[in-house]
Structure 1
Amino acid sequence: MNRVALITGAARGLGASIAQRMHGAGYRVALADVQLEAVQALADQLDPSGERALAVQLDVRQKGDFQKACVLLAERWGGTDVLVNNAGKSKVAALMDITVQEFDESMAINLRGTFVGCQVFGQHFADRGFGRIINIASLAGQNGGAATGAHYAAAKGGVATLTKVFARELASKGVTVNSISPGPLDLPVVYEIVAPERIEQMKQMIPVGALGSADYIADTVLLLAADNASSVTGACWDINGGLFMR
């Protein structure tokens, strides 16, 4: 395995799970996050030598950060093969209380970050004739965000649409673009933003009766990133415990 993967928002939560799974599968992984110290700690844990795990400070709101990361990985490992646009920020907020500033911040992190990541690395992959982009969308973008703010739900709905747009644009270049749409996951961040009583209500509403597994989401990323996954593009894979069926 000589493939190189960049995972955004890799310091904790789902991003960390994806990075760990991909590294375990043999990928050389670039762990990107705005919090360099946190992502460096995980990179050191995966590979203290730095030969197969690298921490990269990256703010997804800045296109220049994606461009710098692309150049860095080209110099260090000869290029990048997989981009996982995972970085995101969710905040529960009453619809009529969301400020314009909060809306814009959510769009910048959750939607614009995915857009510029797809732009920069989509071109890199097209130039190389191979690439895999996996965007982390959300159930919130499909059902209107019953447990999250409207700004987050709107942004994640946009991620699903961008996935199709980039998939169509890059299909003839050997590049696939897909999204994964998780429901509520069993992660610390969920317990941080959702009250305990609401968590129990959520579990009761989920047909399978439990929060989803971040490790399984990571396994799904591996499937979509595989060399033989060339016929899957523009897809959105739902992993939500039966909350949304289509």
Structure 2
Amino acid sequence: MSDADIAVVTGAARGLGAVIATRLHARGLRVALADQDGELAASVAEALDPSGATARAFTADVREPSSLRQMLAAIEAEWGDLHVVVNNAARTRSTPLMQITAEEFDAVIGVNLTGTFTACQVLGARMAERGYGRIVNIGSLAGQNGGTATGAHYAASKGGIHTLTKVFAREFASRGVTVNAVAPGPLDLPVVHSLVPPDRMPSYLSTIPVGRLGAPEFVAQVVELLASREAAFVTGACWDVNGGLHLR
């Protein structure tokens, strides 16, 4: 990747988003870390570059086009054209199916699916205007197999992301913007440990063919590849990173 490339990573204040932002920054990209928790995102950005020259945090709501446009304007004013968007922002709820309220359903869909749609539409359109871009949407194994451990609303949102990826890939293909998804399985992150109690973890790991949780750093490597200039002939794809839990 060129050191001129500029990336936005949403949901970058913690978890997989922070790992992805760190990976892209290590490869020489200037990274905008977008999150509703601007203070926490700022702490991650400061750890990457205390000067703020190559890593900056933005308080942004992916559900709101105006919030994304404001962030985009600030990025363009300081750094220039945007090249990469990683749609990672997500809300996870493990509420049993029949106990999910309409409000909770809408809240999860709003961040996960509507947020991805809005970012693809607002930020993707800007990159398409300039003739180059890479969009990587973070889906999930739950969106492929209907997994319920993370909640039906979460699974539905991630399945929607996989479909949106194909739709936007077709929309932008002729204008130099690729759109791909990554579907991680269970990763060694706090959110997974919060869903699986310690006493159940051994039996849970036995259901994963490779016998362990995935390393978030490896998912970040896949994102890095799809975000690269070399990945120009890959679009509309969903890359599975799940330890063999879902084979197709």
TM-score normalized by structure 2? 0.97
User: Equivalent residue for 1:208?
Assistant: 210
Q: Distance in 1 between the 2:164 and 2:135 partners?
A: 11
1:180 is paired with a residue whose SS is strand
The 5 A counterparts of 1:132-151 are 132-151=134-153
What letter is aligned with 1:61? R
User: Equivalent residue for 2:186?
Assistant: 184
Q: Distance in 2 between the 1:203 and 1:32 partners?
A: 32
**Number of aligned pairs?**
246
Q: Distance in 2 between the 1:13 and 1:23 partners?
A: 16
Deviation readout 1:198-234 (Å, 9 max, x if unpaired): 4333211000000011000101111001111110000
The 5 A counterparts of 1:165-184 are 165-184=167-186
Instruction: Tell me if 1:195 matches 2:163.
Output: no
2:206 is paired with a residue whose SS is helix
Counterpart pick for 2:55 among 35, 53, 56: 53
Q: Which runs of 5+ in 2 are unaligned?
A: none
TM-score normalized by structure 1? 0.98
1:205 is paired with a residue whose SS is coil
Equivalent residues of 1:92, 1:194 under 8 A apart? no
Q: Distance in 2 between the 1:161 and 1:199 partners?
A: 31
* Deviating more after overlay: 229-238 vs 86-95: 86-95
Instruction: Tell me if 1:43 matches 2:59.
Output: no
What letter is aligned with 1:189? V
Q: Which runs of 5+ in 1 are unaligned?
A: none
**What is the aligned-residue RMSD (CA, Å)?**
0.9
* Deviating more after overlay: 200-209 vs 17-26: 200-209
Q: Distance in 2 between the 1:130 and 1:197 partners?
A: 48
- Please state how far the C-alpha of 1:63 moved relative to its aligned partner: 1.6
Q: Distance in 1 between the 2:198 and 2:102 partners?
A: 29
Change (3 A) 1:48 1:214: same
User: Equivalent residue for 2:20?
Assistant: 18
